[in-house]
Chain A
Amino acid sequence: MRSIGGIFGESPFKPLYEHAKKACETAYALEDVVKAYCDKDTSGLSNLSDRIASLEHAADKIKQDVRRRLPYSVLLPVKRSDILEFLKPQDSISDSAEDLAKLMTLTDPYDLPVDIKEGLMEIMAKTTQILDAYMRLVKKLSELSRTAFRRKGVKEALDLVSPVEELEHQIDVISIGLSRKVFKLEDKLGALGVYHLSRIVELLSNISDYAARAADRLRTMLFR
Chain B
Amino acid sequence: MDAISPAVILVFAAAFYMAWNIGANDLANSMGDVVGARVLNLRQVILVAGCMTFLGAALFGSRVTTTIAEGIIPFSQIDQHLATGGALASLLAAGIWITIATYFRLPVSTSHSIVGAVLGFGLVAAKAGIIKFGDIAWIILLRIMFSWILSPIAGMFLAFLVFTLIRRVLIERVRDVRRLEKIFGFLLICSSCYIAFSLGTNDVANAAGSLSAALGKTGVQIPLWILVFSGFGIVLGISTWGYRVVETIGKRITELTPTRGFSADISAATVVLVCSTFGLPVSTTHTLVGAIVGVGLARGLEAVNLAIIRRIVYAWLITVPVSTALAIIIYLGFWG
List A residues at the B interface (Cβ < 8 Å).
1-13, 69, 71, 73-77, 145-152
Which A residue's beta carbon lies closest to that of B297? A75
What's the Cα separation between A185 and B253 when bound, in Å?
63
Which of B32, B255, B302 has the most chain A CB atoms inside 10 A of its CB? B302
What's the Cα separation between A143 and B72 when bound, in Å?
52
What's the Cα separation between A74 and B296 when bound, in Å?
10
**A74-B108 contact, Cβ under 8 Å, with A1-B245, A4-B292:** no
Size bracket, chain B contacts? 35 or more
Decide if B10 is an interface residue (CB 8 Å cutoff).
no
What's the Cα separation between A146 and B171 when bound, in Å?
10
Q: Do A145 and B302 touch (CB < 8 A)? A: yes
Q: Do B306 and A4 touch (CB < 8 A)? A: no
Q: Do B107 and A4 touch (CB < 8 A)? A: yes
**Interface-lining segment among B98-106, B125-133, B228-236:** B98-106
Q: Residues of A contacting B306 with CB < 8 Å?
A: 73-75
Which B residue's beta carbon lies closest to that of A76? B303
Least Cβ–Cβ distance between A168 and chain B, in angstroms? 29
Q: Do A77 and B257 touch (CB < 8 A)? A: no
Q: A69-B303, A75-B301 are in contact. List 18 more A-B contacts (CB 8 A).
A: A1-B25, A2-B25, A2-B105, A3-B248, A4-B29, A8-B252, A8-B305, A9-B305, A11-B255, A73-B305, A73-B306, A74-B305, A75-B296, A75-B297, A147-B171, A147-B177, A148-B171, A150-B171
Decide if B298 is an interface residue (CB 8 Å cutoff).
yes
Least Cβ–Cβ distance between A139 and chain B, in angstroms? 16
Q: Do A2 and B302 touch (CB < 8 A)? A: no
Q: Residues of A contacting B142 with CB < 8 Å?
A: none
Q: Residues of A contacting B308 with CB < 8 Å?
A: 4, 6-7
Which of B25, B245, B292, B303 has the most chain A CB atoms inside 10 A of its CB? B303
**A1-B305 contact, Cβ under 8 Å, with A147-B177, A150-B167, A151-B172:** no
Q: Residues of A contacting B177 with CB < 8 Å?
A: 146-147, 150
Least Cβ–Cβ distance between A13 and chain B, in angstroms? 5
Which residues of chain B in 205-222 are interfacial with respect to chain A, using CB atoms and an 8 Å cutoff? none
Least Cβ–Cβ distance between A49 and chain B, in angstroms? 37
Q: Do A77 and B248 touch (CB < 8 A)? A: no
What's the Cα separation between A148 and B308 when bound, in Å?
23
Q: Residues of B contacting A8 with CB < 8 Å?
A: 252-253, 255-256, 292, 301, 303-305
**A2-B305 contact, Cβ under 8 Å, with A148-B171, A148-B298, A149-B299:** no
Which residues of chain B in 276-322 are interfacial with respect to chain A, using CB atoms and an 8 Å cutoff? 285, 288-289, 292-293, 296-308, 310-311
Least Cβ–Cβ distance between B3 and chain A, in angstroms? 34
Decide if B26 is an interface residue (CB 8 Å cutoff).
yes
Q: Do B105 and A3 touch (CB < 8 A)? A: yes
Decide if B81 is an interface residue (CB 8 Å cutoff).
no
Which A residue's beta carbon lies closest to that of B293? A75
Decide if B249 is an interface residue (CB 8 Å cutoff).
yes
Q: Residues of B contacting A146 with CB < 8 Å?
A: 177, 257
**A4-B304 contact, Cβ under 8 Å, with A75-B296, A147-B171:** no
What's the Cα separation between A26 and B102 when bound, in Å?
47
Least Cβ–Cβ distance between A70 and chain B, in angstroms? 9
Partner of A9, one of B32, B298, B303: B303
Decide if B244 is an interface residue (CB 8 Å cutoff).
yes
Q: Do A4 and B32 touch (CB < 8 A)? A: yes
B159-172 interface bits toward A, Cβ cutoff 8 Å, 1 = contact, 0 = none: 00001000100011
Q: Residues of A contacting B245 with CB < 8 Å?
A: 1-3
What's the Cα separation between A192 and B222 when bound, in Å?
95
What's the Cα separation between A76 and B293 when bound, in Å?
10
Which B residue's beta carbon lies closest to that of A70? B303
What's the Cα separation between A148 and B259 when bound, in Å?
10
What's the Cα separation between A149 and B172 when bound, in Å?
9
Least Cβ–Cβ distance between B59 and chain A, in angstroms? 26
Q: Residues of A contacting B298 with CB < 8 Å?
A: 148
Partner of B301, one of A3, A73, A77, A147: A77
